[in-house]
Amino acid sequence: MSSLKILVKTFAKKAYKRVQRNDHSYQQTDNFTTNELERLLNMYLVKSDEDQEARLIRDAMEHHIRRYHGYAIEGKIGGHYRQIGVDEKNCIFEHVMPVNTIVAMLIENRLTIRQALNTPTCLIKKEDDIVLRESGHGSSSPDAWYFFRRYGVLNSQFKTYNGQEISDPNNFTLEDHFKLFGI
């Protein structure tokens, strides 16, 4: 039997300890992701070519932002915002600003890492996710500053994770979001 075959056939996957979601694990996630984004951003900024390596670095930045949003935002509060009437057990977790836009703004120093990690997320109805995609806003946003305008085709109202209604979503800004969440 080959040594590779022996290694594979005798392999037993380790059962990793399940991490409890709590303030400590959220802080670890924040620290780790911030450090990784700083490292990747520095790697990207010293590159002179827009080559495959640059693409892979941007992809890695997107991965870490998505992972942070999934763990520290979706896992903790579900999402910053909710479409009023959404079934929170049967919905879509949305990055209101597409993650590739967040990464591009981070690279161009338009957002800080802390801001990039805390850009708006929203729970929307599954059927409205289809409407967004069909309207051309599945992976784009018409206005990053007035970020709720992305949802104009849905004709919906929104509230925060803790029930505060957003009275005028069309004029609610990214700055309003950061102030509301202490960023």
Single pTM value for the model: 0.89
pLDDT tens sequence for the chain (183 residues) = 689 999 999 999 989 888 888 889 999 999 999 999 999 999 999 988 889 999 999 999 999 999 999 998 998 899 999 999 998 888 989 999 999 999 999 999 999 999 999 999 999 998 888 888 887 766 778 889 999 998 888 888 999 999 999 999 999 999 999 999 999
Q: Are 59 and 104 within 8 A, CB to CB?
A: no
Distance between CA atoms of residues 52 and 36, nearest Å? 19
Distance between CA atoms of residues 105 and 107, nearest Å? 5
